[in-house]
């Protein structure tokens, strides 16, 4: 019994309930006894989630997790849905499931949920976005799938995942980048800040050229932003904002530009008045800015 408790993780063995039941729908009597409870189920009875947004599992990190499980057990149960009396499908926790197999476990603690495929997809994507260390492109793909396959708006999705609408929009925009740049993001060769700056460059050849410069010379995010601005607005001197406005206002312009994810120029006139210029590239960009400024 002591070995079993260790394999399951501290305190989990005491909470286990017998999962052997024919209940397959949340509408059936007794379903509440299954949904939300922790059960010990056979690892071999679980199959991967076809909707899993994560497509890459680092072998070294997986082995480290397996070593931890051998020492401490599975601290956080996985989540599955029942597809038959003795068969389950992963909703979330594929790393823990894979690592448990590597650790030689025959069973694993799991939350059992009863849901249709669309409900399972939404649960899987939301839980992975919130709990798993997905790369930026995987997060973007998850957001886009929630919109496309669960028929929800960006506003509804931002509430589900607890993120600002502008944050969701920034991630989705990464999917417009060329595949080679998306691969670079997934390989952690450039940061989210670099990627956001590259998205603002409309010409794909120019995007790829700047991307190669980032890799070869280690350009900072600020340098990429300046390069992107020069490519997008060649007639705008990079020192324009600094020469026309008090230095104390420079940081405000940067903050507004970051908040709105676009170019913001502050202009000061001789009488002390001035202008705040917010640039947009197309009607979609304008709609996005309006939604931020008029929530």
Lowest mean pLDDT among 174-183, 239-248, 260-269: 239-248
The confidence score (pLDDT) of residue 145 equals 76
Position with higher pLDDT, 19 vs 147? 147
Using CA atoms, how far apart are residues 3 and 21, in angstroms rounded to an integer?
Answer: 26
Query: Radius of gyration over alpha carbons of the chain, in Å?
Result: 25
Computed over every residue of the chain, the mean pLDDT equals 76
Lowest mean pLDDT among 2-6, 51-55, 141-145: 2-6
The confidence score (pLDDT) of residue 129 equals 76
The confidence score (pLDDT) of residue 270 equals 59
Rounded to 5 degrees, what angle do the CA atoms 40, 35, 123 make? 100
The confidence score (pLDDT) of residue 211 equals 92
pTM score over 0.75: no
Using CA atoms, how far apart are residues 143 and 49, in angstroms rounded to an integer?
Answer: 17
Q: Give residue 5's pLDDT band: very low, low, confident or very high (50, 70, 90).
A: very low
The confidence score (pLDDT) of residue 271 equals 62
- The 3-state secondary structure of 188-245 reads CCCCHHHHHHHHCCCCHHHHHHHHHHHHHHCCCHHHHHHHHHHHHCCCCCCCHHHHHC
- Identify whether 94 is a catalytic site residue: yes
Position with higher pLDDT, 24 vs 220? 220
Position with higher pLDDT, 82 vs 241? 82
Q: Which residues contact 91 (CB under 8 A, 6 or more apart)?
A: 49, 78, 79, 80, 81, 113, 115, 120, 123, 124, 127
Domain segments of the chain as ranges: 2-115, 239-295
CB-based contact 190:223 (threshold 8 Å): no
Using CA atoms, how far apart are residues 241 and 252, in angstroms rounded to an integer?
Answer: 11
CB-based contact 18:39 (threshold 8 Å): yes
Position with higher pLDDT, 12 vs 184? 184
Of 94, 122, 138, 225, which one is the catalytic site residue? Answer: 94
Residue 241 has pLDDT above 50, yes or no: no
CB-based contact 266:274 (threshold 8 Å): yes
Residue 80 has pLDDT above 50, yes or no: yes
* Bridge partner residues of 90 (DSSP): 80
Percent of the chain exceeding pLDDT 70 equals 73
Lowest mean pLDDT among 91-95, 125-129, 134-138, 151-155: 125-129
The predicted-structure confidence for 36-69, as pLDDT tens digits, reads as follows 567 899 999 999 877 666 667 788 888 988 998 8
Residue 280 has pLDDT above 80, yes or no: no
DSSP 8-state symbol, 84: E
Please give the CATH architecture assigned to the domain spanning 2-115: Alpha-Beta Complex (3.90)
Position with higher pLDDT, 164 vs 27? 164
CB-based contact 45:87 (threshold 8 Å): yes
The confidence score (pLDDT) of residue 41 equals 92
Residue 243 has pLDDT above 50, yes or no: no
For the ranges 208-212, 218-222, 286-290, the maximum mean pLDDT occurs at 208-212
Q: Give residue 140's pLDDT band: very low, low, confident or very high (50, 70, 90).
A: confident
Q: Give residue 136's pLDDT band: very low, low, confident or very high (50, 70, 90).
A: confident
Tell the residue number behind the tokens 């597809």, with chain if given.
83
Angstrom distances, CA of residue 83 to CA of 49, 72, 88, 109, 279: 12, 30, 5, 17, 51
Using CA atoms, how far apart are residues 199 and 193, in angstroms rounded to an integer?
Answer: 10
Lowest mean pLDDT among 9-13, 87-91, 156-160: 9-13
């Amino acid at each position: 019994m002591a070995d079993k408790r260790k394999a399951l993780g501290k305190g989990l063995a005491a909470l286990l309930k017998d999962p052997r039941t024919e209940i397959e729908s949340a509408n059936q009597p007794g379903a509440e006894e299954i949904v939300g409870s922790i059960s010990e189920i056979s690892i071999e009875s679980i199959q991967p989630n076809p909707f899993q947004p994560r497509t890459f599992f680092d072998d070294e990190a997986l082995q480290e997790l397996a070593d931890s499980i051998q020492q401490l057990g599975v601290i956080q149960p996985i989540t599955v849905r029942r597809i038959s009396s003795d068969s389950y499908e992963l909703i979330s926790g594929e790393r823990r499931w894979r690592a448990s197999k590597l650790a030689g476990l025959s069973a694993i603690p799991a939350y059992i949920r009863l849901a249709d495929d669309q409900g399972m997809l939404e649960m899987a994507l939301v839980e992975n976005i919130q709990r798993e260390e997905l790369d930026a492109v995987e997060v973007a793909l998850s957001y886009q799938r929630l919109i496309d396959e669960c028929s929800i708006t960006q506003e509804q999705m931002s509430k589900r995942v607890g993120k600002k609408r502008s944050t969701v929009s920034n991630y989705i925009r990464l999917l417009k980048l060329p595949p080679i740049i998306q691969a670079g993001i997934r390989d952690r060769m450039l940061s989210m800040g670099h990627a956001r700056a590259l998205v603002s460059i409309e010409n794909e050849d120019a995007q790829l050229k700047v991307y190669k410069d980032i890799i070869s010379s280690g350009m900072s995010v600020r340098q990429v932003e300046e390069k992107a601005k020069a490519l997008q607005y060649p007639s705008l001197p990079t020192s324009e904002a600094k020469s026309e406005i008090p230095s104390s206002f420079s940081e405000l312009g940067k903050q507004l530009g970051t908040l709105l994810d676009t170019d913001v120029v502050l202009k000061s006139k001789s009488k002390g008045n001035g202008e705040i210029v917010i640039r947009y590239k197309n009607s979609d960009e304008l709609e996005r800015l309006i939604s931020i400024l008029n929530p």
